[in-house]
Chain A
Amino acid sequence: GIQVEQSPPDLILQEGANSTLRCNFSDSVNNLQWFHQNPWGQLINLFYIPSGTKQNGRLSATTVATERYSLLYISSSQTTDSGVYFCIPYTGGFKTFFGAGTRLFVKA
């Protein structure tokens, strides 16, 4: 199956800082989804982004499918951004491949 690699594995930011999270995947994808898992365990959809760039407030994402990577940008980070960020590339069918995630902690 598709291999998913997320980097960095852990990230500590001071509130207000910007960051870039990366998701590399080993095969062609139909779509890609970014999730934020908050400290209480809830997985919240951030973006569906098979290609191109999308923005939602302080967050934006870019997927370059031909080069098999996606980036999640967080600007002016807040403590509520803390948690784990997962990317899920979809290749079709029911099998879904999760990366190990990037664990983010934003200090006040």
Chain B
Amino acid sequence: DVKVTQSSRYLVKRTGEKVFLECVQDMDHENMFWYRQDPGLGLRLIYFSYDVKMKEKGDIPEGYSVSREKKERFSLILESASTNQTSMYLCASSLPGAQILGYTFGSGTRLTVV
């Protein structure tokens, strides 16, 4: 069964900490995405990557950075966590041309910044 695995289901961090959220996929997908999901705002794209070492900003990149050193792994970094980054974070992957086969999502990480 194909999988997108996020390293943590629940995470609690302190304001100002540097936070790493890890996502690994075993489908050899070129594209990987990070979204955050907030009540009333739906899913919003933070960053995506279409190849190793390539990254593109999504709709809300401020306060975040990403790293893609290997094809299977896409990391989201909160440089200095703030309480407004408390959210559900979802990683997804797809083949090129997501419109053909669509996305596969990870199980999500609920991050609380205190």
Chain A residue numbers with a CB within 8 Å of B103 are 33, 45, 88, 96
In the assembled complex, the Cα of A79 lies from the Cα of B61 at a distance in Å of: 37
Select which of B56, B99, B110 is within 8 A of A41 by beta carbon: B110
Residues of B within 8 A of A73 (CB): none
A36-52 interface code vs B (CB 8 A; 1 in, 0 out): 00001111110010000
Query: Is A83 interfacial (CB 8 A cutoff)?
Result: no
- A12 adjacent to chain B (CB < 8 Å): no
Residues of B within 8 A of A99 (CB): 42
Q: How many residues on B have C-beta within 8 angstroms of the other chain's C-beta atoms?
A: 23
Identify the interface centre among B48, B98, B108: most chain A CB within 10 Å of its CB.
Answer: B98
Q: Interface centre among B92, B102, B103, by most A CB within 10 Å?
A: B102
Q: Taking each of B43, B56, B110, which has the highest tally of chain A beta carbons within 10 Å of its own beta carbon?
A: B43
| Given A48-B101, A94-B56: 14 more A-B contacts, CB < 8 Å | A30-B100, A31-B99, A33-B103, A40-B107, A41-B37, A41-B108, A42-B105, A43-B108, A44-B105, A91-B99, A95-B45, A96-B33, A96-B98, A98-B42
